[in-house]
Structure 1
Amino acid sequence: MAIFDFFGSAVCHQMAERSFIFGGMPLPVCARCTGIYSGIFFSMLFFFIYGRHKGNKPYSTWGTIIGACSFIPISIDGFFSYMGFWESNQFLRVVTGALAGASLPGFLLLGANFDVVGENTWPIFKSVKEQLLLIGATLLWGILLWLNVGNYLLPSVVVVLGIVCFWANFIYLVIKNLGVNGKLPYWLLAFCGSCIIILSIGVLRN
């Protein structure tokens, strides 16, 4: 659908041969971006449902290691396939994207909410188990898409919402660290700003 493709154009090359096809239509973004933005959406959904979007407590040692290591596969696959050492495939793209996407929002939220002078007691994840379950759920979602389970609409909606969440996270990080009035509706401003950025990029690219 045109509206989904418009949103996808703000973040992805949209090469059909690198995208999942459902009902004869490629998803709004490539397989790797599908994993990334699905992971971002599922993470943000989890954080808002359980109130972790206010989290400011640094990760545990194992939580930090797990989160950091989630970016290694996408870096390796992306770099070496780009350099021509091997040709990546849809499975590797969506799985590495899902790992990175599921882990990114937590670090961005921590960067936005951490108070350098106050107490930081509100966790992003209450346990490593929570973190692993979220990553695992996103990986399962990516694998189901790779197996061509489902239809065009649901993953397209998830991806578009993930794109909105991606930009909103960065805007939230910036305005919180600028020390803007604490009474302002940060997330409302962030999501509005996200839509403006996506629309602007989409118009320029189209």
Structure 2
Amino acid sequence: MSEQTPEEIVRMAQERVAARKVVARRAIPWGPIFLGSFSALLLALLFSPGMPLEWKMYAVVHGICAQQHNIFVGGLQFPLCARNSGIYLSFMLTFIYLYAIGRGRAGKIPPWPISLLLVAFVGIMAVDGFNSLFLDLGLPNWYPPDNFLRTLTGMGMGITVATALHLVLNNSLRQNVDPHQPVFAHWGEILGIIVIDLLALAAIYGNLGITFWPLAFLAFFGILGVLFLVCLLLTSLLMGYEGKITSLRQLAGPATIALIPTLLIAGAMSWLRFWMESVGLIL
């Protein structure tokens, strides 16, 4: 029997350690734990007493969103302001849309004309944002701002944010990422999500009361979802999942752990803002 080289011994030791880690991860039922944790949080949001549901949602994201220039549908106030409602409602719709059209493993930037449109969405929202800010500061602005424009331009930004985050997650974590598949391959695909966004916009500003709860929940989970996905990405990388994911079920462990910083950050920011308001530091 030939003697093993030091390099072979080190490699075998590393393989055994990796195998033990895999067995340990499989031994913990992360899937049910994640589903149970998320369900418990959702039930607490829905059924905890003390205030109406829409105000509980408002309080949860109070530290993340400025919640000025608010919008109402059917007499109920959205948990987010007009611009953030547009951004994060569109973010959620875009993320769902990408999986619906089979882009779950897409790892390539869209063709340059579509990419330029995505960049333009950011620029358009920036222009509208500065225009609104100038008015709030009592400075000359270019045109009268309104909530419709805030939400509309925010929706374009939401498409861009979802596209960028989808690419980052896939290229960082997926083993089976498709590097040749663009997130949006042609104009018809991106026009599809634009039409969906415009229908949601029409429901909001047409004051279609029946749509309040689904749209409010999409916006609410959109803003928390971005925070959660960033925490999920960092947690997954720290746990050694880089380039190893072939099924979303494999992310149950990091996803469960990522709930903790997500809740801590959102809760701390909300508490801090309520405290600052209570002592008169901000209005």
TM-score normalised by length of structure 1: 0.82
User: 1:196 offset after TM fit, Å?
Assistant: 4.2
User: 1:74 offset after TM fit, Å?
Assistant: 0.8
RMSD over equivalenced CA pairs, Å: 2.8
User: 1:58 offset after TM fit, Å?
Assistant: 2.0
Q: Deviations over 1:57-107 (max 9, x none)?
A: 121112211211111221101112212314410111110011111221111
The whole-number CA distance in structure 1 between the counterparts of 2:264 and 2:204 is: 29
Task: Say whether the 8 Å CA contact 2:114–2:187 is kept in structure 1.
Answer: yes
The whole-number CA distance in structure 1 between the counterparts of 2:214 and 2:201 is: 13
Q: Deviations over 1:134-181 (max 9, x none)?
A: 123113312321221234322221111211222133334545666833
The whole-number CA distance in structure 2 between the counterparts of 1:123 and 1:189 is: 29
One-letter code aligned to 1:90? N
Kindly tell me: are residues 7 and 44 of structure 1, through their superposed partners in 2, closer, same or farther at Cα, counting changes over 3 Å?
farther
Aligned residues: 202
Matched, 1:185 2:251: yes
Q: Where do 5+ consecutive residues of structure 2 fail to align?
A: 1-53, 136-140, 275-283
Task: Say whether the 8 Å CA contact 1:38–1:158 is kept in structure 2.
Answer: yes
Q: Secondary structure at the match of 1:148?
A: coil
Corresponding residue of 2:49: none
One-letter code aligned to 1:144? A
Identify which range, 172-181 or 32-41, moves more after superposition: 172-181
Corresponding residue of 1:94: 151
1:133 counterpart (192, 211, 231): 192
Corresponding residue of 2:165: 108
User: 1:191 offset after TM fit, Å?
Assistant: 6.0
Corresponding residue of 1:67: 118
Kindly report which structure 2 residues correspond to 1:15-26, keeping only aligned pairs within 5 A, or say none: 15=68, 18-26=69-77
> Larger strand proportion, structure 1 or 2?
2
Q: Secondary structure at the match of 1:27?
A: strand
Identify which range, 20-29 or 176-185, moves more after superposition: 176-185
The whole-number CA distance in structure 2 between the counterparts of 1:119 and 1:133 is: 22
The whole-number CA distance in structure 2 between the counterparts of 1:24 and 1:35 is: 19
One-letter code aligned to 1:111? V
One-letter code aligned to 2:251? P
Task: Say whether the 8 Å CA contact 2:87–2:156 is kept in structure 1.
Answer: yes
Q: Where do 5+ consecutive residues of structure 1 fail to align?
A: none
Matched, 1:146 2:212: no
The whole-number CA distance in structure 1 between the counterparts of 2:186 and 2:262 is: 30
The whole-number CA distance in structure 2 between the counterparts of 1:144 and 1:109 is: 27
Corresponding residue of 2:28: none
Give the share of equivalent positions with the same residue, in percent. Answer: 21
1:169 counterpart (223, 226, 229): 229
Larger radius of gyration: 2
Kindly tell me: are residues 176 and 53 of structure 1, through their superposed partners in 2, closer, same or farther at Cα, counting changes over 3 Å?
farther
Task: Say whether the 8 Å CA contact 1:112–1:177 is kept in structure 2.
Answer: no
Task: Say whether the 8 Å CA contact 2:74–2:209 is kept in structure 1.
Answer: no
Task: Say whether the 8 Å CA contact 2:67–2:80 is kept in structure 1.
Answer: yes
Corresponding residue of 1:56: 107
Task: Say whether the 8 Å CA contact 1:90–1:146 is kept in structure 2.
Answer: no
TM-score normalised by length of structure 2: 0.62
